[in-house]
């Protein structure tokens, strides 16, 4: 485990070096995301024992988007178990964009993993609860417990996504037709859209990730939030599918399980040690934040955090 001085130096250095990067572009297929200031850039590290190191815009609340898929996965995997999840959703990369309909057609309707939209909506349809409200209470309750305080939906994001989520609704109906949707498809898509609209800061995200780094225990409260046995399955999913179609390149270059979202957040976990979250809205062609990737890659290489490099 690096010293806190070394951690602080690496985080500050990454912020200084990459704040000036101007590559990439905010997501705009969700209109709200195009309006977030592109120069925002924050990095937060939370260790498995609860120490926090930050640089830049770490309190700005942005849309969690796809990173929410990780926490809904945690809820469902703890409820139905890793084997059932693998049967109902899958655990392999699709090799296609995150919202591909073709991928569903090519695999007999099976979504293949919980991080593409199809698999995420199917995962959300498995959230325990007798009504959409009860399911929502579980989803937001789970995310809030990980963050250590109450998280809220950004209603503007939710409206912007709801007005434009016809493609995701289409995916949900398609899954239903193949028997891979486990509740009403429209209700599941709405819950999924809401979970993507939850506002988090880079500091929140690092705290949430630190629960995975600490094998399922919250680093500050000490409460167990995930079954220990399921943490490795979640890290495996992140490793395989967390960075969209760049997951292989990311693993090759950085060697850390991570999950990215089109809101500009990236969350990486160093098992047993820490979580590193970075946020900056401009994305590369794969949908991953340019500055966030550069920052995490830099910190990982400075501190030799690569899980395959030991
Ligand atoms: N709500 C977004 C969508 O469904 C999330 C995408 C993402 O962050 O990958 O398109």
Q: Please identify, by atom number, the ligand 1 atom nearest to the C-alpha of residue 197.
A: 1
The two tokens of residue 53 are 């190191």
Sorted by sequence, the CB contacts under 8 Å of residue 91 that are 6+ apart come out as 85, 112, 113, 233, 236, 237, 240
Enumerate residue ranges in the chain where pLDDT < 50. none
Q: Is residue 308 part of a domain?
A: no
Q: Based on the fold, state whether residues 155 and 265 are members of the same structural domain.
A: no
Q: Based on the fold, state whether residues 192 and 210 are members of the same structural domain.
A: no
Q: Is residue 46 part of a domain?
A: yes
CA of 97 to the centre of ligand 1 (A): 11
Residue ranges for the known binding site are: 66, 117, 161, 168, 192, 244, 262
The answer, yes or no, to whether any atom of ligand 1 lies below 6 A from the CB of 125, is no
Residues 189-242 pLDDT 10s? 999 999 999 999 999 999 999 999 999 999 999 999 999 999 999 999 999 999
Q: Based on the fold, state whether residues 73 and 152 are members of the same structural domain.
A: yes
- For 106, other C-beta atoms within 10 Å of its C-beta total 14
- Of 175, 212, 172, nearest in space to 193 by CA: 172
Tokens 């890659």 belong to 297
Q: Is residue 263 part of a domain?
A: yes
Q: Is residue 309 part of a domain?
A: no
CA of 6 to the centre of ligand 1 (A): 35
Q: Based on the fold, state whether residues 159 and 190 are members of the same structural domain.
A: yes
Dihedral angle computed from the Cα positions of residues 144, 150, 151 and 154, in that order, rounded to the nearest 10 degrees: 160
Q: Is residue 212 part of a domain?
A: yes
Report d(CA 246, CA 240) in Å as an integer. Answer: 10
Total structural domains in the chain? Answer: 2
Q: Based on the fold, state whether residues 298 and 288 are members of the same structural domain.
A: yes
pLDDT of 309 reads 87
Q: Based on the fold, state whether residues 130 and 188 are members of the same structural domain.
A: yes
- Of 216, 192, 219, 230, nearest in space to 44 by CA: 219
Q: Based on the fold, state whether residues 49 and 89 are members of the same structural domain.
A: no
Of the residues 27, 29, 30, 157, which should be mutated to test ligand 1's pocket, given the most ligand atoms within 8 Å of the CB?
30
Q: Based on the fold, state whether residues 119 and 40 are members of the same structural domain.
A: no
Domain boundary among 150, 177, 196: 196
Output the furthest CA–CA distance in the chain (Å, rounded).
55
Q: Whose CA is nearest to atom 7 of ligand 1?
A: 66
Q: Based on the fold, state whether residues 128 and 55 are members of the same structural domain.
A: no
pLDDT of 136 reads 98
Q: Is residue 16 part of a domain?
A: yes
Assign residue 142 the CATH number of its domain. Answer: 3.40.710.10
Q: Based on the fold, state whether residues 28 and 116 are members of the same structural domain.
A: no
Of the residues 175, 196, 198, 283, which should be mutated to test ligand 1's pocket, given the most ligand atoms within 8 Å of the CB?
196
Helical packing angle, 185-196 and 155-163, nearest 10°? 140
- The pTM (predicted TM-score) of the whole model is 0.97
Give residue 212's domain range.
Answer: 4-65+199-303
Residues 52-71 pLDDT 10s? 999 999 999 999 999 999 99
Q: Based on the fold, state whether residues 130 and 141 are members of the same structural domain.
A: yes
Domain boundary among 146, 161, 196: 196
Dihedral angle computed from the Cα positions of residues 270, 279, 146 and 191, in that order, rounded to the nearest 10 degrees: -120
- Of 22, 54, 96, nearest in space to 281 by CA: 22
């Amino acid at each position: 485990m690096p010293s806190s001085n070394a951690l602080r130096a690496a985080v500050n250095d990454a912020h200084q070096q990459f704040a000036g990067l101007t590559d990439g572009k905010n997501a705009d297929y969700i209109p709200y995301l195009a309006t977030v200031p592109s120069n925002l850039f924050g990095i937060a590290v939370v260790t498995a024992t609860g120490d926090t190191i930050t640089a830049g815009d770490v309190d700005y609340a942005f849309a969690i988007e796809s990173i929410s898929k990780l926490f809904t996965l945690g809820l469902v995997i703890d409820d139905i178990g890793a084997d059932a999840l693998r049967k109902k959703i899958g655990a392999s990369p699709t090799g296609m964009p995150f919202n591909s309909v073709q991928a569903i057609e090519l695999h007999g309707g099976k979504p293949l993993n919980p991080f593409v939209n199809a698999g995420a909506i199917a995962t959300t349809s498995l959230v325990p609860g007798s009504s959409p409200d009860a399911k929502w209470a579980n989803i937001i309750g789970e995310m809030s417990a990980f963050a250590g305080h109450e998280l809220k939906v950004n209603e503007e994001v939710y409206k912007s996504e709801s007005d434009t989520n016809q493609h995701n609704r289409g995916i949900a109906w398609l899954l239903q037709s193949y028997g891979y949707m486990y509740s009403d498809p429209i209700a599941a898509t709405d819950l999924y859209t809401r979970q993507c609209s939850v506002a988090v800061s880079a500091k929140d995200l690092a705290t949430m990730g630190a629960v995975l780094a600490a094998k399922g225990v919250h680093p500050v409260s000490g409460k167990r939030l995930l079954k220990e046995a399921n943490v490795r399955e979640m890290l495996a999913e992140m490793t395989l599918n967390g960075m969209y179609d760049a997951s292989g390149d990311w693993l090759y270059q950085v060697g850390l399980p991570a999950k990215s979202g089109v809101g500009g957040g990236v969350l990486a976990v160093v098992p047993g040690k820490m979580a590193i979250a970075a946020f900056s809205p401009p994305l590369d062609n794969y949908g991953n934040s340019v500055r966030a990737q550069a920052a995490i890659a830099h910190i990982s290489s400075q501190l030799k955090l690569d899980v395959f490099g030991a």
